[in-house]
Chain A
Amino acid sequence: MHAVIVALFVVPLVAVVLSYVVPVKVGPPVSAVAGIASFGLCVALVSTASAGTEHALGSFLRLDALSEVFLLATTFLYAATAVFASGYLERPKGAAGERYSRRFWAGFNLFCAAMVAAPLMNGLASLWVAVEVTTVVSALLVAIDGTDEAIEASWKYVLIASLGLSLALFATIVMYYAGSSFFAGSYNLSYTNLLSGASHFSPGAVRLAFVLAVLGFGTKMGLVPMHTWLPDAHSEAPSPVSALLSGALLAVCFYAILRYFQVTVRAVGPGFPRALMAGFGVASLLLAALYLLSQRDMKRLFAYSSVEHMGIIAIGTSFGAPIALFGVLLHVLAHGAAKGTAFFGAGSVVRKFGTKDMDKVQGGASVLPWSATMLVAAVLALSALPPFGIFRSEFLVVEGGLSSGEDALSAVLVVLVTVAFFGLSWFTTQTMLTGAPASEAATRGAAAGKDGTLARGEVSPWIVVAMVAGLAALVLLGVHLPGDLTALLRHAASQLLPGGTSTRGVQ
């Protein structure tokens, strides 16, 4: 299985080079093949990861159940988004169009390569480097359209995320300090070292490192009040980039926090880290639920929905019951699929109507028979309605909260999720399921006919394919969890408990 792990690390990197040097037309299929191959490799690793820890390339790469969960979410979005973007991007015209296309696909693959690398890294230092690479690459992707708004969003993003990551770097250094008296002398921050030594670490330093890590990586995960870059970057980026930012990048940053969480529960017990996660979780969920009620921009709406879901994930982590942690990890997968599908649908609407202002979009379902309908389905999935995966994961989170005696927090969670449901579903049904599109909006649309009405029909079949894949994954997660996946999630959840078993070395 070592070769598969190495291949998973290398395939996206090869795609970066290929997509830059091959003829422009070949860029999209190369990226889609790389994405699908990465997802295939990742699926092939599921049973290996549930069986124990694997190292590859010396001890540079490391795979266990926890990293596999996040790899699944990332590679699934890599594959689906590559297919979506092949249909979403207009065919390049002229030299400027070709340059844009090359830059986009090389950046796209590099962004995915960094997000695949982060969970594979063996150690907090290399994890930080991988997350920092995701920041700089994705900031350029946010700015790629070159509009005033895109550049503003990109500047805010790169500045705030870099400051956050400086705190995360600080956290890395303090964690090193926490272990330095135990290991006496130079050591590296590999998980094997950290998890075996954690119970002897200096508790004060571990606490400080965890706070700094939550502030630092939490900035990129979109936890309130460090979330301010997120709605801007998600709404102004090209839709494929929005999908990756929301579905995969936020999850990868949560993964980084979980690695600190793992060490912290062993060093100082679960009380402190759980309380901190609960605080940030409630703040995120509350603010996002309220902001969801007042959005006019469709992609901003979904961006705040991401803040909401990161809040749910943080609260679920704070419950600490195995069933809640299982729900949290399932939520990472389901949210990735649902938010990806939602942004694909938003991208389809943007291409058809030429605007993401929801006041100007009407009757989506009558001009986009497939993608608008599936967009509504994705929004229902995001609102945790059955039969989709998020229903199951939120149910498990609440069940875990009640079983660990956190009745009040569970009640707050249910109420705020319901408020968010109103915001999301009201605006989407208003724009998608109402009558025929107004002619004023139609004239702006790329596909406007001579009489000023929008022609009925999809922008591209690839958009539909990507959305079908996302919804299929959501239904699968909701209706019938495959046995291998259940085992994987159970192992990953057990790693987050104070007496976790992740140090089992199966070479």
Chain B
Amino acid sequence: MGPVPSGYASGADIAALLVLLTEFAMLRAPQLRSQVRLYGFQSFVVVVLTLVTGAVRGYSDLYILAGLSLLLKVVIVPALMFRLLRQLDVDQLHHPAGGGGGSMVLVAIAASAFGFFVLRSLDFRSKVLPTATLSVSLAIVLVAFVLVILRSDVVSQAVGFFSLENGVSIVSMAIAAGLPVVVEVSFLFDLLVAVVVFALIMRAHHARAGTLSTEALDRLRG
């Protein structure tokens, strides 16, 4: 396996950065629908990266993975979430993006810088993707945590978890491209099950509390 071709390398970097920027947009998105749309876009970027990597680096398994990811993460998951939002007839939250969007972005920048430098010090080498992509993907994982922790509605928290999975997909492409495809597919299947369960519990929460905000979820303490 030769060195990473330079045109492909910069393409991969741009794709990873786009994924990270999408996550920053999620931090600020006031509407739940736009949150889901951003997730669909993010997944699409990951699918394209998977396809191109499969073609350039010669891993034909990645085509299968890209096809299934497209179906699941770009079509089925957003469709399920849109359907849920339509049925519950909510879009705008009463208290959009609690805690001040600006400081949230600052925390996210700190987290992504941390991820970027930690990975450099670990001396991981990817045979498939440029090392910078790997650093960005760790930043994606960390910012997803910020998203889940700081957003105060169940939809954004769920979308944060799904985009965390996108970050882990890029990591897995970078350092474990040889992972048997049946394993990758079972990971995807698991995501689908998780999405369904998330949606069921969100629906139950909305039925009881009449809102998708997490402010009502404060009974259990100590």
**Residues in A lying within 8 Å of B, measured CB to CB:** 125-126, 129, 132-133, 135-136, 139-140, 143, 146-149, 151-156, 158-159, 162-163, 166, 169-170, 173-174, 176-177, 180, 185-189, 204-205, 208, 231-232, 235-236, 291, 294-295, 300
Question: Across the interface, do A152 and B219 meet the contact criterion of CB distance under 8 Å?
Answer: yes
Q: For the side of the interface on B, what is the size category?
A: 35 or more
The one of A133, A140, A153, A295 that contacts B200, using a Cβ cutoff of 8 Å: A140
Question: Across the interface, do A154 and B201 meet the contact criterion of CB distance under 8 Å?
Answer: yes
Residues from chain A with Cβ under 8 Å of B220 in the complex: 149, 152-153, 156, 231-232, 235-236
Question: Across the interface, do A166 and B178 meet the contact criterion of CB distance under 8 Å?
Answer: no
B106 within 8 A of A: no
B89 within 8 A of A: no
> Known interface pairs A139-B201, A148-B209, A188-B180. Does A162 touch B161 (Cβ–Cβ under 8 Å)?
yes
Residues from chain B with Cβ under 8 Å of A174 in the complex: 175
How far does the Cβ of B204 sit from chain A's closest Cβ, in whole Å?
5
Cα distance, A173 to B200, chains bound together (Å): 29
Residues from chain B with Cβ under 8 Å of A169 in the complex: 168, 187
Question: Across the interface, do A132 and B201 meet the contact criterion of CB distance under 8 Å?
Answer: no
Question: Across the interface, do B176 and A176 meet the contact criterion of CB distance under 8 Å?
Answer: yes
Question: Across the interface, do B208 and A166 meet the contact criterion of CB distance under 8 Å?
Answer: no
What is the interface of chain B mostly: helix, strand, loop, or mixed? Answer: helix
> Known interface pairs A148-B209, A151-B208, A204-B123. Does A173 touch B201 (Cβ–Cβ under 8 Å)?
no
Minimum CB distance partner of A177 in chain B: B175
> Known interface pairs A125-B183, A163-B145. Does A151 touch B201 (Cβ–Cβ under 8 Å)?
yes
Question: Across the interface, do A163 and B161 meet the contact criterion of CB distance under 8 Å?
Answer: yes
Interface string of B92-121 (1 = CB under 8 A from A): 000000000000000000000000000000
| Chain-A contact segment, one of B19-27, B42-50, B191-199 | B191-199
Residues from chain A with Cβ under 8 Å of B124 in the complex: 177, 204-205
How far does the Cβ of B96 sit from chain A's closest Cβ, in whole Å?
20
B80 within 8 A of A: no
Cα distance, A232 to B221, chains bound together (Å): 8
Minimum CB distance partner of A137 in chain B: B197
B133 within 8 A of A: no
Question: Across the interface, do B175 and A155 meet the contact criterion of CB distance under 8 Å?
Answer: no
Residues from chain A with Cβ under 8 Å of B208 in the complex: 146-148, 151
11 A-B pairs besides A133-B190, A152-B205, A291-B222 with CB distance below 8 A are A125-B180, A125-B183, A132-B193, A136-B193, A148-B219, A151-B204, A155-B217, A163-B161, A166-B161, A170-B168, A180-B175
How far does the Cβ of A96 sit from chain B's closest Cβ, in whole Å?
15
B157 within 8 A of A: yes
Question: Across the interface, do B141 and A300 meet the contact criterion of CB distance under 8 Å?
Answer: no
Residues from chain A with Cβ under 8 Å of B157 in the complex: 159
Residues from chain B with Cβ under 8 Å of A132 in the complex: 190, 193-194
Question: Across the interface, do A129 and B187 meet the contact criterion of CB distance under 8 Å?
Answer: yes
Residues from chain B with Cβ under 8 Å of A153 in the complex: 220
B75 within 8 A of A: no
Question: Across the interface, do B197 and A170 meet the contact criterion of CB distance under 8 Å?
Answer: no
Interface string of B154-175 (1 = CB under 8 A from A): 1001100100110010011001
Cα distance, A149 to B220, chains bound together (Å): 7
> Known interface pairs A173-B176, A186-B180. Does A163 touch B201 (Cβ–Cβ under 8 Å)?
no
How far does the Cβ of B30 sit from chain A's closest Cβ, in whole Å?
21
Question: Across the interface, do A146 and B204 meet the contact criterion of CB distance under 8 Å?
Answer: yes
B179 within 8 A of A: yes
B186 within 8 A of A: yes
Interface hits, B122-158 → A, CB 8 Å: 122-124, 141, 145, 148, 154, 157-158
How far does the Cβ of B208 sit from chain A's closest Cβ, in whole Å?
5
Minimum CB distance partner of B145 in chain A: A163
How far does the Cβ of B73 sit from chain A's closest Cβ, in whole Å?
14
Question: Across the interface, do A151 and B176 meet the contact criterion of CB distance under 8 Å?
Answer: no
Cα distance, A188 to B179, chains bound together (Å): 7
A-B contact pairs, 10 of them (CB 8 A): A148-B208, A155-B154, A158-B197, A159-B161, A162-B198, A163-B145, A176-B176, A180-B178, A205-B124, A235-B220
Cα distance, A166 to B190, chains bound together (Å): 11
Residues from chain B with Cβ under 8 Å of A152 in the complex: 205, 216-220
Minimum CB distance partner of A296 in chain B: B222
Minimum CB distance partner of B198 in chain A: A158
> Known interface pairs A158-B198, A159-B148, A204-B122. Does A170 touch B179 (Cβ–Cβ under 8 Å)?
no
